[in-house]
Amino acid sequence: MKLQNIWFVVLATKINFYLLEYSLKYISRYKYKNIFIVLIMSTLVALLASTFFLSNAMKSEYNKLISNYPDIVVTNQQALRDTTINENSSYKILEIKGVSNVIPRVWGEYYFLNANKKFTILGKDEYEMYSNPLLNENLNLTKDSMVVSLNVKRILEDSYYDDYFNFIKADGNVKKMLITSVLEKSTLINGELLIIMNKESAKEIFEYSKNEVTDFGVSVANKNEIPFIAAKIKTIFPSAKITLKEDLKVHYENIYNLRSGFFLTVFIISFFTFFIIIYDKATGLNSEQRHEIGILKALGWRVGDVLNTKLYEGIIISLLSYILGIGLAFIYVYVMKAPYLKKIFLNNYSLISNYNINFSIDYETLALLFFLSVPIYIAATIIPSWRVATLEADEVMR
Amino acid sequence: MSLQQIFKLFSLTLFLSATLFAYPQITQNIKDKKIYPMGQKIYKSKCKEKDFTNFKTYNSLYNTLNKEKACGDLSKKNVEILSVYLWDIKLHNSTSLEKLVVTKDEKCQVCGMFLHNYPSWVSRINYPKDETYNFDGMKCMFKFYFNNKKGITDILVQDYYTLKTIDARSSYFVVGSDVYGPMGHELVPFNDKKSANIFLLEHKGKKVYFFDEITEHMVRSLGH
C-alpha cells in the first residue's frame, strides 16, 4: 500500500464518526445562524481573494510590459521641459563601455479632435535592434503606410477613415497615411491607442528636422553597470533627464499603489467585521449552549469528546466557507474576468486600459487567507467550549 | 618645381586621400554596438543568398550596393552600414564565440552553487571529446584550472562590460574591485586592457593582470 493511503486509513480510524454525526446535527440545529456565518465568511474570503488575484494579475502584466523597456532613457531638457535631442549625439553614449545599444527613438502623441482622443505615434526603423519583440518584427512599412492598434482602428472607423488617415501637420498641410494592418495585441507601454510608422514619416508629422529625435533608449549588457552608466551619461548631457527602468517601475507602482490603497481599506474593514464575529463567538456561549455541554458531561462525555465535536463543527464551517469563497473568487476573476472591480483600477490615464487576466494559482494569497480565516474560526469555537467543559456538570447547569 | 608640378602633386594627394578615406571613419565601439548588428539584420532580410567574397576594395563593394542596387532599394545610410558590415565581417571572417548558456539544474564544479542565478559570471573549461565544466565565477574556474591544467582545449569567460564570450587565455582580469560575484571577491574579466583600466578606476580595483600573471596563491587569497 502506498504511504499516502496508509495515512488516510490512520486518519479515518482517528475520526470518531459518532461525534462527527453529532456535530453535523448540532450545525443543522442552529441552521440559520450557521448559514449566516458561512455566508459572511465566504463573502469576505471571496472579496479579498478576488482583489488579490486581480491585483497580482495586473502587477505581472505591468512587469511584463516594463521588461521590454530600455534600461536607461535619456531625454533632453530645456528650461526643465522635455525637448528633442540631436540623433548624432547618440554616438557619444555608444562610446561608453558597457552600453550595448542606443536607439534614437521618435515617438509622441497626436491629438485627434473628432474623437477627442490622443494617439501614441511610434517611429520605427526597419533595421534597428529593438528590445521589444513587436518592434523587431518586419512590418513592411513604407513612407505612406502605418500599422494601428485595434482601438485606433475602431476610433478611425467611427470617423469614416476606413483604410487611411489624414494627419494635420503644424503648417496646416495634410499627410495621408494608409493603414496596412491592425495590431491585435500590443506588448508596448501606452499600447492601447498605438500607431506604428516609419521613423521618417513620424518625423514629418511631428515637424522634426532631419537629425531631431525624441529621446534615446539605452540598453546595457551587464545590468550591474546601469547606475554607473547613468552617471556617465549625466556628465555628457548635464541638462538631460535620465530615467532608469527601475525608476519607471517605481513610478508605475506608485500610481498603482494609490489605487490599492482603496483595497487596503476594504481589507481592513472586512477583517474588522470578521473579527467582530469571532470576538462575539469567543467571549462566551449563551446559556442554552452552556446547558447542552453540561448535559453531555452529566451523561458521561469526557472533555475531549466535547472538544472533538466542537473541532469538527469549526472545521466544517470554516473550511466550507473558505472553499466556497475561493471558488467564487476564481469564477469571478478568471471566468468572468472581474467586471466592475477591474474598472476601479483603470482610467483613461493608466498604463493599460485592457489587460489580460492570465490564469495562475497564487499560493501565497491562498495560504494567507487560509491562515487568517480557518484556524482563527476553529480556535474561536473551541476555546469558549473548553472553558465550559472543564467545569463540573452541576456547576454549568445551575 | 613648377607650379604645374605642385598642382599635379596636390591633386594626386587629394585623389589618394579621397580613396583612403572612402572607408567611413567609425570607431570600433560604434561598429560593434550599432553597425554590425544592424548590418547583419539588413543582410539577413535583403540579400542572404548573394556572395560578397570577391571584392578587392571597400569602394567597389559600396558602389555595387549603392549604384547597382545589389541588395534592393536601401537608403544611403543603410547602404553604408551594410557595406561596412560586409567588408569587416563577411570578407575578413571574424567570428565570435557562442554565448555561454546554462540550464536550470547545472551546478558549479568547484563550489556546487546553481549557475542560472548568476548568468553573467558563468565560465567554462573545455576538454577534448565534448568534456565541459561550468563554473559560477572566475575564482572557481581558476581553482579548477590550476589543478587540472593538462589537455584543456578552451577556457571561456564573459567580458564584464559586453557579456560576450571571450577566450580567457588572452583576457585581462581586475582584482580587488567593489564588484562582487556569486562567491564574494572576484577576478573580473575583460577582453581588452583599455576596458580593464576603465573598470579599475571606476570600481576601485587594485590591479589588472593578464591571464598568465595569475597565480594559485592569488586566487586562494581572494577567499573561498
One-character DSSP codes across A338-377? -TTHHHHH--TTSS-SS--------HHHHHHHHHHHHHHH
Contact B33 A94 (CB under 8 A): yes
C-alpha span between A187 and A83 (Å, rounded): 26
Q: Can you tell me the distance from the alpha carbon of A295 to that of A306, in angstroms, rounded to the nearest whole number?
A: 11
CA B185 to chain centre: 25
Q: Are B18 and B56 in contact (CB under 8 A)?
A: no
Domain residue ranges of chain A, discontinuous segments joined by +: 17-65+252-397, 85-213
CB contact under 8 A, A97 and B195: yes
Among B residues 187-206, those touching chain A with beta carbons less than 8 Å apart: 195, 198-199, 202
CA nearest to B191 within chain A: A97
**Which residue pairs, CB below 8 angstroms and at least 24 apart, start in A235-239?**
A236/A89, A236/A92, A236/A93, A237/A74, A237/A76, A237/A85, A237/A89, A239/A76, A239/A77, A239/A78
Q: Residues B122-142, buried b or exposed e (16+ Cβ, 10 A)? A: bbbbeeeeeeebbbbbbbbbb
What is the rounded distance in angstroms from the CA atom of residue A16 to the CA atom of residue A310? 12
Cell 492601447 belongs to residue: A192
Q: Positive or negative CA dihedral for A88, A92, A94, A99? A: negative
Residue B164, pLDDT > 80, answer yes
Q: Where are the beta strands (DSSP E) in chain A?
A: 72-78, 81-83, 85-86, 99-112, 117-124, 145-149, 164-168, 174-183, 194-198, 212-213, 215-220, 241-244
Task: List the B187-190 sheet strands across, edge first.
Answer: B187-190, B172-175, B207-210
CA distance B189 to A238: 31
Q: Among residues 141-170 of chain B, which lie with CB inside 8 Å of chain A?
A: 160-163
Of the candidates A307, A304, A308, A317, the one whose C-alpha atom is nearest the C-alpha of residue A278 is A317
Name the residue with cell 547583419.
Answer: B40
- Mind telling me how many Å the CA of A21 is from chain B's nearest CA? 51
- Interface probe for B, chosen from A127, A129, A226 (most Cβ of B below 10 Å), is A127
pLDDT of residue A348: 46
Tell me, yes or no, if A269 comes closer than 8 A to chain B by beta carbon. Answer: no
Read off the pTM: 0.74
Which residue among A94, A97, A126 sits closest to B30, beta carbon to beta carbon?
A94
pLDDT in tens, B92-116: 666 677 788 888 888 888 888 898 8
Q: Are strands A117-124 and A194-198 parallel, antiparallel or unpaired?
A: parallel
B161 and A138 within 8 Å at the Cβ level: the answer is no
Provide the CB-side half-sphere exposure for A138 (13 A, CA). Answer: 7
| pLDDT tens, residue order, chain A (398 aa) | 555 666 666 666 677 888 888 888 888 888 888 898 899 889 889 988 888 888 888 777 778 778 888 999 999 999 999 999 999 888 889 988 889 889 999 999 899 988 888 888 989 888 888 877 778 777 788 888 999 988 888 889 998 988 899 999 888 889 999 999 888 766 665 567 889 999 989 999 999 998 899 999 999 988 888 998 999 999 999 999 999 998 888 887 776 666 667 777 877 887 788 888 778 777 777 788 888 888 888 888 888 888 888 889 899 999 999 999 999 999 998 888 888 877 776 654 455 555 667 777 888 889 988 998 889 888 888 888 888 888 887 777 77
Q: What is the pLDDT of residue A373?
A: 86
Average pLDDT over residues B135-163: 88
Say if the Cβ atoms of A101 and B37 lie within 8 Å.
yes
Q: What is the pLDDT of residues B166-211, one digit of tens each?
A: 888 889 999 988 888 888 888 999 988 989 999 999 889 999 999 9
Q: Please, are residues A305 and A22 in contact by the beta-carbon 8 Å criterion?
A: no
pLDDT at residue A346 in the model? 62
Q: Which residues contact A200 (CB under 8 A, 6 or more apart)?
A: A123, A143
Of all residues in chain B, the percent with pLDDT exceeding 90 is 10
Residue A348 CA to residue A330 CA, distance in Å, equals: 27
Quote the pLDDT of residue B36.
83
* Rounded-to-5 percentages of helix, strand, coil across chain A: 55, 20, 25
